[in-house]
């Protein structure tokens, strides 16, 4: 039996649900195809979610469609398609991933403040949103005592952004070693730089410093663009 989608608070969620129903697929089936949790897919359909480029790409593939279709970006070029009228130079296809060099990755990370950190919780590994700052070459953020990075191992951190108005998105993946920040004066200075957002309240008093050892990224264009 195909489950019915509820009220949607975003166009993205509405399009995901409608496409799934067009194909006659259940959430469980699409989630399995995309390699995501069924509850994640439910949340994506019913809330104003901000999915990563990677997860949105997998959901689009599971629904046999494109990111451009799901985000409602106009003028997308599907594989094998052509550019719009008046195009005079090479146009990349929508959905094409372009590698970012380390310098561009650092620039993007430096100009944003919200990322996702892989942490260890009593329920197992989890990905949580964190407010961060790039301090020198290090990423600094805070978390709760029961949700901390595995300090003895390499830690994954991701920063990404989808700009529907510009028809583009990007994602930067960082691998590094994490350590606790414990010096009171340093913590006070960091607190003044990062400030409070909803998900840093309620016991997230442990400060973490991440020293990147590897950094890579991709940019994806949802609409045609000229070289």
What is the number of structural domains in the chain? 2
Give the residue among 59, 55, 81 at the shortest CA–CA distance from 70. 59
Q: Where are the beta strands (DSSP E) in the chain?
A: 91-92, 97-100, 114-121, 124-135, 138-143, 154-163, 168-181, 206-221, 225-226
Check whether residue 112 and residue 192 sit in a common domain: yes
pLDDT (0 to 100) of residue 44: 84
90 domain residue, yes or no: no
Task: Output the CA–CA distances (angstroms, integers) from residue 77 to 66, 74, 142, in the order listed.
Answer: 10, 9, 41
> Phi/psi at 61 (nearest 5 deg)?
-65, -40
| pTM for this prediction | 0.56
Mean pLDDT, each 10-residue run in order, the chain (227 residues): 46 89 92 83 79 78 84 49 38 66 90 85 80 87 78 86 71 91 81 57 74 90 56
Q: Which domain holds residue 206?
A: 97-226
pLDDT (0 to 100) of residue 75: 46
Check whether residue 53 and residue 113 sit in a common domain: no
Check whether residue 34 and residue 120 sit in a common domain: no
Show which of 23, 48, 65 is a domain's final residue: 65
Show which of 42, 65, 88 is a domain's final residue: 65
pLDDT (0 to 100) of residue 5: 42
Check whether residue 113 and residue 214 sit in a common domain: yes
Q: Are 193 and 130 in contact (CB under 8 A)?
A: no
Q: Are 210 and 139 in contact (CB under 8 A)?
A: yes
Check whether residue 112 and residue 217 sit in a common domain: yes
53: domain CATH number?
1.10.260.40
1 domain residue, yes or no: no
Check whether residue 150 and residue 45 sit in a common domain: no
Check whether residue 112 and residue 218 sit in a common domain: yes
pLDDT (0 to 100) of residue 211: 93
183: domain CATH number?
2.30.110.10
pLDDT (0 to 100) of residue 17: 92
Helix or strand or coil: residue 18? helix
pLDDT (0 to 100) of residue 23: 93
pLDDT (0 to 100) of residue 29: 92
38 domain residue, yes or no: yes
Task: Output the CA–CA distances (angstroms, integers) from residue 131 to 68, 162, 199, 207, in the order listed.
Answer: 28, 18, 8, 11
- What six digits make up the tokens of 125? 């590994």
51 domain residue, yes or no: yes
Burial class, 89, CB count within 10 angstroms (exposed 0-12 / middle 13-18 / buried 19+):
exposed
Give the number of other Cβ atoms within 10 Å of residue 66's Cβ: 20
pLDDT (0 to 100) of residue 72: 73
Check whether residue 104 and residue 211 sit in a common domain: yes
Check whether residue 217 and residue 107 sit in a common domain: yes
Check whether residue 51 and residue 112 sit in a common domain: no
Check whether residue 199 and residue 123 sit in a common domain: yes
Check whether residue 61 and residue 101 sit in a common domain: no
b/e code 127-155 from CB counts within 10 Å (16+ = b): ebebbbbbbeebbbbbbeeebbbeeeeeb
175 domain residue, yes or no: yes
């Amino acid at each position: 039996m195909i489950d019915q989608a509820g009220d949607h608070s975003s166009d993205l969620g509405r399009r995901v649900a409608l496409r799934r129903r067009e194909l006659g697929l259940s959430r469980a089936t699409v989630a399995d195809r995309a390699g995501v949790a069924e509850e994640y897919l439910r949340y994506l359909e019913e809330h104003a979610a901000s999915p990563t480029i990677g997860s949105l790409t997998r959901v689009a593939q599971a629904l046999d469609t494109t990111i451009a279709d799901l985000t409602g970006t106009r003028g997308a070029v599907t594989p094998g398609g052509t550019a719009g009228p008046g195009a005079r130079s090479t146009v990349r296809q929508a959905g094409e991933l372009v590698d970012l060099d380390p310098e561009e990755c650092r620039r993007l990370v430096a100009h944003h403040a919200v990322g996702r950190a892989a942490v260890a919780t009593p329920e197992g590994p989890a990905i949580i949103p964190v407010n961060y700052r790039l301090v020198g070459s290090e990423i600094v953020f805070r978390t709760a005592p029961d949700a901390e990075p595995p300090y003895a191992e390499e830690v994954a951190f991701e920063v990404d952004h989808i700009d529907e108005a510009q028809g583009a998105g990007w994602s930067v993946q960082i691998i590094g070693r994490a350590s606790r920040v414990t010096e009171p004066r340093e913590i006070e200075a960091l607190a003044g730089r990062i400030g409070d957002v909803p998900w840093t309240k309620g016991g997230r008093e442990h400060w973490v410093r991440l020293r990147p050892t590897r950094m890579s990224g991709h940019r994806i264009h949802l609409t045609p663009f000229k070289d």
